Amino acid sequence: MLLRELLGLAALFFGVTFSVIGVVGMLRLPDVYTRLHASGKVSTLGLWGILLGAALLLEGAFPRALALAVFLVLVQPIASHAIAAAARCSGVPMALSFRDDMPPLETPSATPEQP
Kindly list the residues in this chain that would bind other proteins in the complex (CB under 8 A): 18, 21, 24-25, 28-30, 33-34, 36-38, 40-42, 44-46, 60-61, 63-64, 66-67, 73-74, 76-78, 80-81, 84-85, 88, 94, 96-102, 112-114
The least CB distance from residue 27 to other proteins, in Å, is 9
Q: Which is nearer to other proteins, 4 or 28 (CB)?
A: 28
The least CB distance from residue 85 to other proteins, in Å, is 6
CB-based contact 80:38 (threshold 8 Å): no
- To 5 degrees, how large is the angle CA 16–CA 50–CA 20? 20
Q: Which is nearer to other proteins, 8 or 40 (CB)?
A: 40
CB-based contact 29:35 (threshold 8 Å): yes
| Neighbouring residues of 95: CB distance < 8 A, sequence distance ≥ 6 | 30, 31, 34
Q: Look up residue 12 and give its amino acid.
A: L
The least CB distance from residue 50 to other proteins, in Å, is 13
**CA 84 to chain CA centroid, nearest Å:** 13
